[in-house]
A and B are shown apart, each in its own frame.
Chain A
Amino acid sequence: MTKAGILRAVIFFGGLALLPLGIEPVWVLNLLIFTLMYAALASSWNYIGGYAGYPSLGHAAFFGIGAYSIAIIFEKSVGRGYAPFFMLPVIGIAVAILSIPIGMIAMRTRADVFAIVTITLLFVAQTLAFNLRTVTGGAQGKGIAVPPFAISHFSWPFYYAMLLLLLLSMGISFYFRRSKIGLSLAAVKADEDKAHGVGVPVTFVKIVAFAASVGIAAMVGGVWAYYGGYIYPQFAVDPLITIGMVLMTFLGGRATLWGPVIGAFILVPAQQTFAYQFGGSQFYLLAYAAIFLVIMLILPRGILPTITDRLRTKAKLREISAALTAQEQEASR
């Protein structure tokens, strides 16, 4: 890890950890919780959608499974309020393991077919949530016991839970990049058949990326459900959640460490602003799409890759011109 990288991470996470101390209005903290939530989701979607190049549209299914797990386990009581948070790792690991056979089947397809297969998964999960009434409460939804947190700091535990999940999500992302898993995933993304032909264990790395990715999504879903206190099938397994993480990753830059986070920190506040401005008219969805279109026209590969590419080109040009001047000086002597 470079010094600059450590510094960036310390400033980012340190700043976010201190932020609630200086923020009074509840709505700001609420907005931040959703920003962190989407940053963690986008960051984990990036393992499979970015690094491996498999555009999953089914992540909301796993988000919903996490949400319902928390709702079902903690319907009656949450004790002193922290038990659901301690349950999250169990849910994350369980969902990751259960996703292995699903991933193995879904990842026999590629690209657009994979996107369609995974979006089907989303609707299967939603239909189940609507119809397994004895477990999920069906369309009437399911409530979670209210935690006995102090009113003045009610959101804090959720804020820090989301922050920790973002740290975990980015930590895994960083680890993938630095290990041969990331190298193998990049090979899979570029040319899976060729990667297979040079001995890369393609199925294994794809499954690792998929399982880690949906495990995080499930944990985030758990915190989301607990924070909201009441969940319904159409919101717990919501295509907009899938679309959100995909858009943010595309916006910030696929297959980068910070891209998905940058995307979330732009799009979530933007979405909230538009939703507030245009009220219940749903026009905010159009505005949401419009920003995305504009940025894709200007920066088609996302914000971060475009910027780093430009810097790289500039540095190279400078190198070349420096070499040329050196040559000229040599010649004039």
Chain B
Amino acid sequence: MSALLEVHGLTKRFGGITAVDTCTLEVQQGTITALIGPNGSGKTTAFNIITGYLKADAGTISFDGKRVEKPSPASLYRDGLSRTFQQARIFPDLSVLENLVVASSYSLRGLFQTRVSKQDRDRAGEMLEEFKLSSLSDLRGSELSYGQRKLLEFAAVLMSSPKLVLLDEPTAGVNPVMIETMERHIRSRHKEGVTFLIVEHDMQLVMRLCDPVIVLDRGATIAKGTPAEVQTNPLVLDAYLGD
């Protein structure tokens, strides 16, 4: 069986620094895969390349059985690969409802239709209900707290019914209750068949939630396995604790 996302030999240099160095990884359909590694190990850069925000110097990416020749964020999103950002990025001047509608990946013809149609309202309404954001529906994005923004960003990228969601530190900077909320939402979506690739520093969450875990160090994959295997892998311990 081929993986949902396959990355092979990915390399990216910034001047003299090789941020991602012949990185190879796979995300199997139906998993919640974690991507961990010390600061500066290239996790976010790898995310940016996979989602088309950065151009790789070398390497290949395949998504859903198809080779991605020229990754473009918009077309990947429409094909079912969504992502969130480390710093939650929402549209501050749009209402919470509009933040969801704008992410519903409409066609070019859809552009010429009503800004927020009855259908949009219904679909976004369901999503807001699921994320318990209904009462905030008419507020502007700028009026939300940081945790609420993270939730909203997550909810928004689900509007396109993605196959694979890349979450970049979904719980960074949010309170413990919100971490649980986030975890619950990830689990419930996972049950519905969405595959996840998560960059996360909260190791307890990673160990609870994810399987398998991929470890990156200096831009290369150094280990892959179940949380238990990775925790005891000497290479991993060395990467995190060694000099």
Residues of A within 8 A of B (CB): 177-184, 186-187, 189-191, 193-202, 204-205, 208
Given A196-B74, A199-B77: A204 touches B108 (CB 8 Å cut-off):
yes
Chain B CB within 10 Å, residue with most, of A177, A193, A198: A198
The majority secondary structure among interface residues of chain B is loop
Judge whether B113 is part of the interface by a CB distance below 8 angstroms.
Answer: yes
CA–CA, A294 and B55, complex, Å: 46
Judge whether B207 is part of the interface by a CB distance below 8 angstroms.
Answer: no
18 other contacts beyond A183-B101, A198-B82, A199-B77, with CB at 8 A cut-off? A178-B114, A179-B111, A180-B101, A180-B106, A186-B94, A187-B91, A187-B94, A191-B89, A191-B91, A196-B73, A197-B51, A197-B53, A198-B105, A199-B74, A199-B105, A200-B102, A201-B111, A204-B108
The residue from B72, B93, B112 contacting A179, defined by CB atoms under 8 A apart:
B112
In the complex the two chains form, is A178's CB within 8 Å of B115's CB?
A: yes
The majority secondary structure among interface residues of chain A is helix
Which A residues are CB-close (under 8 A) to B206? Answer: none
Given A186-B93, A198-B103: A179 touches B157 (CB 8 Å cut-off):
no
Chain A CB within 10 Å, residue with most, of B72, B103, B110: B103
The residue from B53, B116, B157 contacting A193, defined by CB atoms under 8 A apart:
B53
CA–CA, A189 and B72, complex, Å: 19
Q: List 26 A-B contacts (CB under 8 A).
A: A177-B115, A178-B115, A179-B112, A180-B101, A180-B113, A180-B115, A183-B101, A183-B116, A187-B94, A189-B93, A190-B91, A191-B89, A194-B85, A194-B90, A194-B91, A195-B91, A195-B102, A196-B74, A197-B51, A198-B82, A198-B156, A199-B77, A199-B78, A201-B111, A205-B111, A208-B111
The residue from B74, B110, B160 contacting A180, defined by CB atoms under 8 A apart:
B110
Q: Which residue of B lies closest to A312 (CB)?
A: B140
CA–CA, A204 and B108, complex, Å: 8
For B81-123 the 0/1 string (1 means CB < 8 A from A) is 0110100011111100010011101101011111110000000
Q: Which residue of A lies closest to B89 (CB)?
A: A194
Q: Which residue of A lies closest to B100 (CB)?
A: A198
In the complex the two chains form, is B111's CB within 8 Å of A187's CB?
A: no
Chain B CB within 10 Å, residue with most, of A177, A196, A197: A197
Chain B CB within 10 Å, residue with most, of A177, A187, A189, A194: A194
In the complex the two chains form, is B111's CB within 8 Å of A204's CB?
A: yes
Q: Which residue of A lies closest to B92 (CB)?
A: A190
The residue from A178, A191, A196, A201 contacting B108, defined by CB atoms under 8 A apart:
A201
Task: Quote the shortest CB–CB distance from B110 to chain A (angstroms).
Answer: 6
In the complex the two chains form, is A197's CB within 8 Å of B73's CB?
A: yes
Q: Which residue of B lies closest to A176 (CB)?
A: B115
Q: Which residue of A lies closest to B105 (CB)?
A: A199
Q: Which residue of B lies closest to A203 (CB)?
A: B74
In the complex the two chains form, is B105's CB within 8 Å of A183's CB?
A: no
CA–CA, A111 and B84, complex, Å: 25
Q: Which residue of A lies closest to B75 (CB)?
A: A199
Which A residues are CB-close (under 8 A) to B103? Answer: 198-199
Which B residues are CB-close (under 8 A) to A208? Answer: 111
